[in-house]
Structure 1
Amino acid sequence: MLLQCLTQYDIEDVQEHCNNLFTQQEIVSLYERFCQLDRNSEGFIYADEFLSVPEFAMNPLSQRLLKMVDGLNFKDLVAFLSTFSANASMQQKIELIFKVYDSDCNGKVRFNDIIEMLRDLTGSFISDKQRV
Structure 2
Amino acid sequence: MGTASSMLTQYDIEEVQQHCHNLFSQQEIVSLYQRFCQLDRNAKGFISADEFLSVPEFAMNPLSQRLLKMVDGLNFKDFVAFLSVFSAKASMQQKVQLIFKVYDSDCNGKVSFNDILEVLRDLSGSFMSDEQREQVLTQVFKDAGYTRDSYLTLGDFIKVFGNSGLKMEVEVPVD
TM-score by length of 1: 0.95
Give 1:49's match in structure 2, choosing from 48, 51, 65: 51
Over the matched positions of the two proteins, sequence identity in percent amounts to 81
Q: How does 1:17-28 map to 2 (within 5 A)?
A: 17-28=19-30
Residue in structure 1 matched with residue 102 of structure 2 by the alignment: 100
One-letter amino acid of the structure 1 residue matched with residue 75 of structure 2: N
Structure 1: runs of 5+ lacking an equivalent: none
Contact 1:3–1:31 (CA under 8 A) maintained in structure 2: no
Residue in structure 1 matched with residue 123 of structure 2 by the alignment: 121
Between the aligned partners of 1:24 and 1:3, the Cα distance in structure 2 is 18
By percentage of residues, which structure has more helix?
1
Note the C-alpha offset of 1:12: 0.6
Between the aligned partners of 1:127 and 1:105, the Cα distance in structure 2 is 27
SS of match in other structure, 1:87:
coil
Between the aligned partners of 1:4 and 1:96, the Cα distance in structure 2 is 30
| RMSD of aligned Cα (Å) | 1.1
Between the aligned partners of 1:20 and 1:38, the Cα distance in structure 2 is 24
Residue in structure 1 matched with residue 60 of structure 2 by the alignment: 58
Contact 1:61–1:121 (CA under 8 A) maintained in structure 2: yes
Contact 1:3–1:32 (CA under 8 A) maintained in structure 2: no
One-letter amino acid of the structure 1 residue matched with residue 99 of structure 2: I
Residue in structure 1 matched with residue 147 of structure 2 by the alignment: none
Count residues in correspondence.
132
Note the C-alpha offset of 1:52: 0.7
Between the aligned partners of 2:108 and 2:41, the Cα distance in structure 1 is 32
Structure 2: runs of 5+ lacking an equivalent: 135-175
Establish whether residue 34 from structure 1 lines up as the match of residue 36 from structure 2.
Answer: yes
Contact 1:14–1:78 (CA under 8 A) maintained in structure 2: yes
One-letter amino acid of the structure 1 residue matched with residue 32 of structure 2: L
Between the aligned partners of 1:128 and 1:103, the Cα distance in structure 2 is 20
Between the aligned partners of 1:40 and 1:84, the Cα distance in structure 2 is 26
Q: What are the superposed Cα offsets for residues 75-130 of structure 1, whole Å, 9 maximum, x if unpaired?
A: 00100000011110122112101101112221110011011010010112211111
Which structure has more relative contact order (CA 8 Å, sep 6+)? It is 2
Note the C-alpha offset of 1:19: 0.9
Note the C-alpha offset of 1:5: 3.1
TM-score by length of 2: 0.72
Contact 1:44–1:74 (CA under 8 A) maintained in structure 2: yes
Between the aligned partners of 2:129 and 2:105, the Cα distance in structure 1 is 20
